[in-house]
Amino acid sequence: MNNLIKEERLKPLEEIIKYNFQDKKLFLKSLIHTSASKEKISSMERFEFLGDRVLGLIISEELFIRYPNLKEGELSKKYSFLVQRSTCAIIAKKINLEDFIILGKSENINQQIKKSILSNIMEALIGAIFLDSDYNTTKKIVISLWDEIIVSLEKENNLLNPKSDLQEKILSMKKKLPEYNLISTEGEDHNPSFTISVSIDGFKPVKAVGKSKQEAEKKAAEKMLKIISDE
């Protein structure tokens, strides 16, 4: 496959990320996995190095601006979640990046591409966009891709809970984020009981009861996670 054919095959990805590369070679190199590279030093790995730093700066700045009242520790929790490998892999799946990665013969393309490869290529793509454009353009693209996850974390004080696990699972399945709805409130003011339902496309809604809305939501998320895992 020559470079022209490869570049033509990548046009749909440009449409997905809403960015047209000026230098198509940069675009192409960022998607050639190390296993398929003929270079002694892989361009993809160099782009990944740059993209990792650019992503970190973009997310740091966005969190700093978006949440002026959050303490450093809370910002750090959100930051760590948003730049971690599994989140990058989720974004990669969101834009169908696995359909455009160029792998070597040593990689079995018939099997699900590993999270690490998806994450690395996602960062490499960000690095390539940055080199081809500028910081502001790259930030606009990154935030458009990450915004749904950033917004979903706004109501989460603890990122290590069933709701976050369910969210990650659902995004990896390319479904819409879970919807939590208050079904009923019972009991006395000093001892209330909340019933919450969680809904996900393709699954029956699940209900759970808790002494607070947050507790009920977590229990509902746990139940839904078990149902999805048993599928």
Instruction: Give the residue numbers annotated as catalytic, written as ranges.
Output: 52, 123
Name the residue type at position 117: I
97 Rama class: left (phi>0) / alpha (psi -120 to 50) / beta? alpha
Alpha-carbon distance of 30 to 129, in angstroms, equals: 9
Cα angle 88-93-95, degrees, rounded to a multiple of 5: 100
Which tokens is 189 given?
Answer: 């003011």
Q: Containing H/E element for 26? A: helix 24-31
81: helix, coil or strand? helix
